[in-house]
């Protein structure tokens, strides 16, 4: 059986878990923290989570994990069959991760972990986040899903990255990113109603106690 390594507060872990739940694939969870121990590095070369253990070996990186799940269980699809539409979903996933999530992440130490981030970093993140969100706004359709008529892997990534980026933006820059993404509030409501996303929230609640 597939085994997903990670922990319920990790948004990347939750992206992989939502994909498994959406597809109805049986899997077990291993409560695993990121680690630089040799044992874990032999499973996940950067020591990050998620890591999906299969009968053939391990897969890391959310895009690769979702691609694998799509290949072993095509239905329900999380990627469009049409080549162009599928590329557009991958494009959105990259934009969300590189230009929104990773930029916001630079401020996580202050927003989530009680640390401090320099004013210079904050200024840079404020600017790059605005640029990143504007690029997502140009790509997003919210019709009603982020890439169009169907729920896709881009909705999964967006649902687990925009909220965290917005927490950074609201806390440090007093700016609601959803205001810069027309249609996103309705989309978020729709995505939050899915059983897979509800299950994630439930396990997060349980983990926080």
Residues that bind ligand GSH (CB under 6 A): 10-12, 34, 47-50, 61-62
The distance from CA 83 to its chain's CA centroid, rounded to whole angstroms, is 23
CB 32 within 8 A of CB 41: no
- Give me the half-sphere count of Cα atoms (radius 13 Å) on the Cβ side of residue 7: 10
Rounded to a whole number of angstroms, the minimum distance from the CB of residue 61 to ligand GSH is 4
Least distance to ligand GSH from the beta carbon of 54, Å?
A: 16
Nearer to ligand GSH by C-beta: 12 or 151?
12
**CA-closest candidate to residue 4, choices 50, 69, 56:** 50
C-alpha 172: how far from chain center: 21
49 vs 191 by CB, closer to ligand GSH: 49
User: Going by DSSP bridges, is the β-strand pair 57-60/2-6 parallel, antiparallel, or unpaired?
Assistant: unpaired
**C-beta of 61 vs 70, nearer to ligand GSH:** 61
Question: How far apart are CB 183 and ligand GSH at their closest, in Å?
Answer: 25
Largest alpha-carbon pair distance within the chain? 47
Name the minimum Å distance from CB 49 to ligand GSH: 5
Distance CA 15, CA 182 (A): 23
Closest distance to ligand GSH from the beta carbon of 200 (Å): 13
User: Would you say 15 or 147 has its CB closer to ligand GSH?
Assistant: 15
């Amino acid at each position: 059986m597939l085994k997903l390594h990670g922990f319920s507060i990790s948004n990347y872990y939750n992206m992989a878990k939502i994909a498994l739940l959406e597809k109805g694939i049986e899997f077990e969870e291993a409560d695993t923290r990121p680690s630089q121990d040799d044992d874990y590095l032999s499973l996940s070369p950067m020591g990050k989570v998620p890591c999906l253990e299969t009968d053939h070996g391990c897969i890391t990186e959310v895009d690769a994990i979702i691609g694998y799940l799509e290949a072993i269980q095509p239905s329900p699809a999380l990627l469009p069959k049409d080549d162009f539409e599928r590329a557009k979903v991958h494009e959105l996933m990259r934009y969300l991760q590189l230009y929104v999530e990773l930029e916001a992440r630079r401020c996580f130490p202050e927003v989530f972990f009680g640390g401090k981030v320099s004013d210079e970093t904050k200024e840079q993140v404020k600017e790059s986040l605005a640029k990143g969100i504007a690029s997502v706004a140009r790509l997003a359709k919210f019709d009603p899903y982020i890439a169009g008529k169907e729920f896709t892997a881009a909705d999964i990534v967006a649902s687990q990255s925009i909220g965290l980026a917005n927490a950074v933006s609201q806390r440090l820059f007093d700016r609601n990113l959803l205001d810069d993404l027309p249609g996103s509030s309705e989309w978020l409501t729709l995505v939050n109603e899915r059983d897979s996303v509800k299950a994630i929230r439930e396990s997060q609640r349980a983990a926080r106690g």
